[in-house]
Structure 1
Amino acid sequence: MNQSQPVANSSVLVTDGWVRSSYAALRNLTDHGVRVSVADSRRLGMCQASRRKAQFSLYRSHYQDEDGFVADVARICQEQSIGLVLPSHNETEILAKHRERLGPGRDALLPNAEHCALFNDKARSYDFAQACGVPVPLRIAYAHADELAEQLREHQLERCVIKLRTGNSAKGVFYAPSPTEAAETVRRLVREFALPAERLPQVEEQVSGEGWGCSVLYWHGRRVASFTHRRMREKIVTGGTSTLRESVANLAIEQATQQIFDAIGWHGLAMCEFKVCAETGAIWFVEVNPRLWGSMALATSAGVEFPYLAWLCAVEGEEAARAYQAQSPLRQPWRGRWLLGDLTVGARQLLSGHWPDAYHTLFQARANARDDFFWDDPLVFLGEVAVYLDNVVRGRSLNPVEKGMIG
């Protein structure tokens, strides 16, 4: 697509409509009068239940039928005269790879497929961040699981983190309290996912610190907007999706994020995650999400409206987005809460007998914004609950792993 040519059709198709990031985009865009349609491989979900969507369509799962998925999205775009496609989750890389099949101009919001592939690979993304001068946790080189325990002992590492090369939030991340258990975990993963020698899990030191994220919008290699937040509570204690977070500045991770995205010439929306030592301020790169992110609602409510800014870049031009952001005040500190996530955390604390912690989680979480409950669109929360209940019935898990999601 010509970098300077705005698209004529301003309507948007948001894919993977069940997740919080998709609803944040739907809500933000429709606040500005943009017509937004939604599509997904399932009928249940947040956007599916929203009164704000223009239309809803089903497509085939990209995990089960990649070619059919792309064909379905292209057909939906044609039938509904869609101007822009805004993917939300792991389908982003697939649509970027097949962007020419979507039709002229509809790919304007999509990142570069090769950049997506790099950041979706834990080992390659660590290599890239390190080459940019960004600190990363110590990684252990090994040729097979039998030598891993010895390598960990040589580096005097008792505890370590084991990551599949392709992951999804906390899925694909494992913690080993000893070198022996680390080797056993790697053997199990190699068997379970039939991993070849060049796709062995990444093994790294377990660094201690708070989870931070720096989200960005880049337009053809130029940074348009950024937003930084600190995680205050996570759904899983060892790390993963945050249920409570706040908008706070952090110059070190903001500079590191810019180094990474400037170096690759990023285009589109993304978030870079870090661990930050609360005592020293030392930072470690964790990963890049080369797509929308779950805490998007915090940024939009705090004054950085990423979906609308991206839409402005595509429809009215980059300078229109910069001008809009320049007159948008940033709210700091500003807290956002994932209500259903906190209910899950609180229930787990109650069941384990941690009553004071449960009370604090459920009743003392002060937040300025929520991801998933809105009085003007109340069915959205019910749609979210329905998805997780369906997950439990079908997969015996609140957040099951689909084939092809990790590995």
Structure 2
Amino acid sequence: MSLAELIDQPEFGHHESPRHQTRRVLLLGNDDRVLLAVARGLGRNGISVDVAWCDPDSPALKSQYVHAFHSVVPYSPHDDQWLDGLHRLVKQYDYDLVIPCNDYAVVPLQLEREKLDPDTHWYLINDDAFQVAFDKAKTSRVASELGINVPRECEITDADVRSGFSNREFSLPDRRSLRFPVYVKPRSSITASDVTNKRSAQRVDSPDALAEYLIHEFPHDGVLIQESFSGVGIGVEILAHQGKVLMQIQHQRLRETIDGGSTYRETIAELPELTEATRKLVQHLNYTGVGMFEFRYNRETGDWVFLEINARFWGSLPLAIAAKANFPFALYELLVKGQTNFHTNHTIGVRCRNLINDLRAFRHQKAEEFDLENLLFGKDYLDFYAPDDWRPQLATLVHFARSVLGKFTRRIGFSV
């Protein structure tokens, strides 16, 4: 049997009739890292995990902790076929909990919450928290009202664009000019009208470039423009119940991608000022669930700013799992069993990287060192690899090799 054939063998597909011999959860979403981390966090604690609304070729589906993959009609704002399919699935298997794992799944369920089967336990945050957390402009306004530091920023609306920017002057609310570079952030990463199109922040280096962006790429719901802040990216990851933080872990980014994501991260000792800012937001939103609160922190000056809320499971979740902060299982215990006392004893100094994306980031950013020793001697954890669950990482490597080979073959073809 070839390596590719070994990888392509499914680790799932046991569609036994319902239930209820085991505890069972349905995961929804198309973020491979998050699906895999949540599945591992639950599966290692004896919870059977099914997955839907993801790519059938996702490496996460190779995990031994994914019991079954279900093909369900994707969300559409124009009809309810997706809803009918989901309802048939949840009624057949009587899940303890249905967890949307990224924006692709979170936004439809939150917006259509009144249509969801009331007899099924759906993980949703309260609507007020959703309206704030999934709108970057509202998030920033709330943080400012709570006395939390935010970057120098301004909001641009459709009316502003229609009035024109011929003078190329952009001002803050107090009429001070913006200092470039700035980051232009759509108010929401995705919209209900197109949940497959993720809208990312863009770095803009001059007033002319900003004007061109606003003229040619302006989203209909407006943008938030924030000045760049010198510092390291810090994530405060939490589980909360009714506005009270029950679990917390903090990490810093060691390497970032061009679009602002992280490929290499490390758990750190608590920064009290960021803990307090997070607590204020959680309390104000009466938040129940998991989330990651993003900050920038300047270690030389001690200055910091709050950036945004990821009101769902976050992309660097594999780091938390590696550091023994099992947020997926804790969420299950909270929502299904009502457990609110969690004794976290996570490890500081744990590092975890997304191997393929980190190689790409290292190449583009020309970092002075890749921490190769940590990688070769097994000191770092990997997003997709675990000793008890190696197939997902192997699947990503095979996919990467096929991609490189395909590009090489095409180049040869063009040169002939």
Contact map agreement 1:122 1:287 (CA 8 A) in 2: yes
2:241 alignment partner in structure 1? 219
Listed as ranges, the matches of 1:176-187 within 5 Å are 176-187=204-215
How far apart are residue 15 of structure 1 and its match?
Answer: 1.0
The CA RMSD measured in Å over matched residues stands at 3.1
TM-score (norm. length: structure 1): 0.81
2:305 to 284, 289, 292: 284
Look up the SS of the partner of 1:308 in the other structure.
helix
In 2, distance between residues paired with 1:100 and 1:10? 26
The amino acid across from 2:202 in the alignment is F
Partner of 2:385: 373
Give 1:9 deviation, angstroms.
8.4
Residue deviations 1:365-407, cap 9 Å, x none?
Answer: 57442211123222212444577799999xxxxxxxxxxxxxx
Contact 1:45/1:386 (8 A) holds in 2: no
Q: State whether structure 2 residue 351 is matched by structure 1 residue 335.
A: yes
Distance 1:233 1:262, change over 3 A: same
- Asked if the contact 1:10–1:315 (Cα under 8 Å) also holds between the matched residues in 2, the reply is no
The answer (yes or no) to whether the contact 1:159–1:179 under 8 Å persists in 2 is: no
CA contact (8 A) 1:13 1:84 kept: yes
Residue 15 of structure 1: which of 28, 36, 39 is its match? 28
Correspondence for 1:53: 66
Q: Specify the alignment match of 2:256 in structure 1.
A: 234
User: Is the Cα contact below 8 Å between 1:232 and 1:244 reproduced in 2?
Assistant: yes
Query: Given residue 342 of structure 1, which amino acid in structure 2 is its aligned partner?
Result: D
Q: Relative contact order: is structure 1 or structure 2 higher (C-alpha 8 Å, sep ≥ 6)? A: 1
Question: What is the identity percentage for the equivalent residue pairs of Structure 1 and Structure 2?
Answer: 24
Q: 1:254/1:55 Cα in 2 relative to 1: closer, same or farther (>3 Å)?
A: same
Q: Is the 8 A contact 1:111 1:266 kept in 2?
A: yes
* Structure 2 unaligned residues grouped into runs of 5+: 1-20, 191-196, 406-416
How many equivalent residue pairs? 370
The amino acid across from 2:324 in the alignment is G
How far apart, CA to CA, are the structure 2 residues paired with 1:68 and 1:381? 34
Deviation at 1:246, TM superposition (A): 2.7
Answer yes or no: is 1:98 the counterpart of 2:112: yes
What do residues 202-228 of structure 1 show as CA deviations (whole Å, max 9, x unaligned)? 222111111001111112333211111
Residue 100 of structure 1: CA displacement?
4.8
Amino acid at match of 2:75: H
Name the SS of the counterpart of 2:370 in structure 1.
helix
- State yes or no: 1:124 paired with 2:146: no
Q: Which amino acid aligns with 2:153?
A: R
SS at match of 1:185: helix
Deviation at 1:37, TM superposition (A): 0.8
Letter in 2 for 1:159: P
Unaligned runs of 5+ in 1: 1-7, 394-407
Indicate how the Cα distance of structure 1 residues 162 and 140 shifts in structure 2: closer, same or farther if over 3 A, else same: same
The normalised TM-score by structure 2 is 0.79
Structure 2 residue matching 1:129: 3-state secondary structure: helix
| Counterpart AA for 1:106 | T
